[in-house]
Amino acid sequence: MFARGSALVGNARDIVAADLDYCCAATRDELDRMAGARMLLTGGAGFLGYYLVQTLLEWNRRATPRERIALTVVDNYVRGVPGWLGDLNDEKLRLVQHDVTQPLPEDCAEFDYVIHAASIASPTFYRRNPIATMDANVNGLRLLLERSRRLHDAGRPVRGFLFFSSSEIYGDPEATAIPTPETYPGRVSSTGPRACYDESKRYGETLCVNFARHYGVPVTIARPFNNYGPGLKISDRRIIPDLARDLFAGCDLVLHSDGSPRRTFCYVADAVIGYFKILTRGRSGEAYNIGQQAPEVTMKELADLVADIGRELIGYSGRVVLEKSSDSEYLTDNPQRRCPEISKAQHELGFAPAVPLVDGLRRSLVWYSEHLTGQDA
């Protein structure tokens, strides 16, 4: 279904380099605050780790030796160390294979900042691994919070702790709660097929709030809304990589719904900027939505947009089709709308996402064109 002689414009390396420049420029003050610090990042081999790690190392390349951040990436590396991470060369980068549901090794148990991003986030995969999902979101988090509390009691307090929660904690909001503010309590099933993720993130937030209030741990909470972009494997089974997979296979773009659910999408570079701002500027015990407030598009509109960009980039000639999933629970508890109210992050943190959806999708598709196996990213 590709037009003969068609070609992509640009390449993945240039896109990532431009995004890292953007991230470093937009977080200059935040990275200055972390200069010379020791950072622990759990789950750093995953999607968000792709830009979190590389932004910190790009900062190190530009910083003086005393300003460089010592980064320890902890991951179980269940599928091995991804190529992008193994290829990074920085004396301040340390990779540790470790399961976060177990206490940290003593040689990496003291830190100034911690980001807990170790979690299965794709619905397809967390539904297959519900206990492991809950363990990372609750038990792994509890161990990190306890370690931070002990450092605080010993007079060596951490300076910042960021827990990655999820917009899924809101469930399926009423129309009157769209855009959804952080104060919305949520409508979430505790027994449905997605509950292992949704409810463990909710309980994780409760842990964070109480460790902040009762033990003085400076923990903050990020609630991501549909982040996408380079680093999100084409095999991840979320909507944008699924569309990219079909597009580059020359197939029709298949939606396993009626196309009416609505979402906003936040490009990963904008999101990562927001996460560093929460880590260094957020109020202890507080949660912040990180996403784009507009445009809110239907899944059919999103697929049509991907198809249009595919026609522009590679001469794609397929179409969007609606097809019922063979998984009877595929749409169970799937929210009809997901759109954040981001004024809290804007006013308190200076969060200002700037990458339009069409530009972010174009960058993503160029990146996917060079990462079609899902094994090297």
How far is it, in rounded angstroms, from Cα 193 to Cα 20?
Answer: 37
In a domain, 246, yes or no: no
Residue 122: its pLDDT value, please?
A: 65
In a domain, 171, yes or no: yes
Domain holding 280, by residue range, is 16-229+266-293+330-357
Q: How far from 19 is each of 178, 235, 274, 356, CA to CA, in Å?
A: 30, 22, 14, 14
In a domain, 24, yes or no: yes
Both tokens of 43, joined, read: 């789950």
Question: Which bin fits 189, alpha (ψ -120 to 50), beta or left (φ > 0)?
Answer: beta
Both tokens of 272, joined, read: 């990562």
CATH of the domain at 99: 3.40.50.720
How far is it, in rounded angstroms, from Cα 41 to Cα 82?
Answer: 16
Instruction: Find, among 49, 171, 167, the residue nearest to 118 by Cα.
Output: 49
- Give the three-state DSSP class for 140: helix
Residue 1: its pLDDT value, please?
A: 31
Cβ–Cβ contacts within 10 Å for residue 245, how many?
Answer: 20
DSSP state letter for 177 = G
Sequence-ordered list of residues with C-beta below 8 angstroms from that of 42, at least 6 positions apart, any chain: 74, 75, 100, 114, 115, 116, 117, 118, 140, 144
Identity of the amino acid at 324? K
Q: How many domains does one find in the chain?
A: 1
In a domain, 320, yes or no: no
In a domain, 200, yes or no: yes
Residue 89: its pLDDT value, please?
A: 87
Give the strand order in the sheet containing 262-263.
297-298, 262-263, 337-338
Identity of the amino acid at 128? R
Burial degree of 221 (CB within 10 A; 0-12, 13-18, 19+):
buried
In a domain, 324, yes or no: no
In a domain, 108, yes or no: yes
In a domain, 309, yes or no: no
Residue 32: its pLDDT value, please?
A: 97
Per-position pLDDT tens, the chain of length 377: 333 233 455 799 999 999 999 999 999 999 999 999 999 999 999 999 999 999 999 999 999 999 999 999 999 887 778 889 989 989 999 999 999 999 999 888 899 999 999 877 667 777 788 888 888 889 999 999 999 999 999 999 999 999 999 999 999 999 999 999 999 999 888 888 888 888 999 999 999 999 999 999 999 999 999 999 999 999 888 999 999 999 999 999 999 889 999 999 999 999 999 999 999 999 999 999 999 999 999 999 999 999 999 999 999 999 999 987 666 555 556 789 999 999 999 999 999 999 999 999 999 999 999 999 866 55
Rg (CA), the chain: 20
Task: List the catalytic residue out of 197, 275, 316, 368.
Answer: 197
Q: Say whether 330 is catalytic.
A: no
How far is it, in rounded angstroms, from Cα 364 to Cα 244?
Answer: 9
Instruction: Find, among 99, 34, 105, 26, the residue nearest to 63 by Cα.
Output: 34
